[in-house]
């Protein structure tokens, strides 16, 4: 297929596959545009209740395509990377944080630069044992982007964030699991089944509450306890008026499986 992002559904789980395997699924402007479109479509489809993001071939995503025309210096020898960031990486990171359903990164291979932070920005990252994570930015004179400066210290703490970002060293999936950077590392031949099973489980859960959980955790990390308690009260009030809460309690009382539908 010529598509740079492949879209496929299994039940309520939508899988988006970055599809430039010859360049380890590194980002061109066109792949960014297709991914934005695919995320918007998934967000707007009531039948989609979980999204899996993965890569075709042996890599997950190698970050910015360093051969993209946008990377070619102008006559002054300069590249406007700021424009690329504003046009492409900012909207991508914000879209993922705003998804109304859980987003799982299925890290099938190397995740470098913005590709690593794309994986970390998902709600849950599960990596194949042969996969790896590289904060490659420092090697080309940049800082972590695609939300990396915000995400990394939160997920691994300042010391490890700085160590990873300054050295640009490759971190194995096992080491990433040990330091709490990802949810789980699994054997390569178990990756797809593990992720699809988890995605199907999450798809059957109350989507609106899951999305509110992500949002509240992210916002509360900047707050005082009092502010976080107010934010919790706000969301519990909202969710308490919704179908899924009534359904969850009723199903518990009736000892049956709940049928959630809010999104």
Q: Which residues bind ligand T3D (CB under 6 A)?
A: 23-24, 26, 62-67, 71, 81, 84-85, 110, 112-114, 134, 136-137, 140, 142, 145
Output 99 or 136, the one with its CB closest to ligand T3D: 136
**Structure tokens given for 165:** 């970002």
Q: How far is the CB of 86 from ligand T3D (least distance, A)?
A: 10
CA-closest candidate to residue 199, choices 106, 130, 115: 106
Under DSSP, the state recorded for 173 is H
Output 144 or 248, the one with its CB closest to ligand T3D: 144
Q: Phi and psi for 111 in degrees, rounded to 5? A: -125, 105
Q: Where do we find the tokens 């199903």?
A: 251
Q: How far is the CB of 25 from ligand T3D (least distance, A)?
A: 9
Q: How far is the CB of 10 from ligand T3D (least distance, A)?
A: 29
Output 12 or 112, the one with its CB closest to ligand T3D: 112
Output 7 or 70, the one with its CB closest to ligand T3D: 70
Q: Residues 61, 26: contact at Cβ < 8 Å?
A: yes
Query: Residue 123, exposed/middle/buried by CB under 10 A (0-12, 13-18, 19+)?
Result: buried
**Structure tokens given for 69:** 């025309």
Q: How far is the CB of 226 from ligand T3D (least distance, A)?
A: 38
**Structure tokens given for 189:** 């031949």
Return the residue nearest ligand T3D (CB atom).
63
Output 116 or 199, the one with its CB closest to ligand T3D: 116
Sign of the CA dihedral with 133 first, then 181, 44, and 94 last:
negative
Q: How far is the CB of 23 from ligand T3D (least distance, A)?
A: 4
């Amino acid at each position: 297929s010529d598509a740079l992002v492949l879209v496929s559904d299994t039940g309520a789980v939508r899988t988006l596959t970055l599809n430039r395997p010859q360049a380890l699924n590194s980002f061109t402007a066109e792949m960014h545009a297709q991914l934005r479109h695919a995320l918007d479509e998934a967000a707007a489809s009531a039948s989609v209740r979980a999204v899996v993001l993965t890569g075709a071939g042996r890599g997950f995503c190698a970050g910015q395509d360093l051969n993209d025309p946008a990377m070619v210096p102008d006559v002054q020898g300069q590249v406007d990377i700021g424009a690329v960031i504003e046009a492409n990486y900012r909207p991508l990171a914000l879209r993922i944080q705003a998804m109304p359903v859980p987003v799982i990164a299925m890290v099938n291979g190397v995740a470098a630069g913005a590709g690593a932070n794309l994986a970390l920005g998902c709600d849950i990252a599960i990596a194949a044992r042969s996969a790896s994570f590289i904060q490659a930015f420092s090697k080309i004179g940049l800082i972590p982007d695609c939300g990396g400066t915000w995400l990394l210290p939160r997920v691994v703490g300042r010391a490890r964030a700085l160590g990873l970002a300054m050295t640009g060293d490759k971190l194995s999936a096992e080491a990433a699991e040990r330091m709490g950077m990802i949810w789980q590392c699994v054997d390569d031949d178990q990756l797809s089944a593990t992720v699809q099973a988890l995605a199907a489980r999450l798809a059957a859960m109350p989507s609106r509450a899951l999305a509110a959980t992500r949002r509240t955790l992210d916002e509360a990390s900047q707050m005082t306890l009092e502010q976080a308690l107010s934010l919790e009260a706000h969301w519990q009030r909202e969710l308490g008026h919704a179908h899924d809460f009534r359904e969850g309690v009723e199903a518990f009382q009736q000892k049956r499986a709940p049928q959630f539908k809010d999104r």
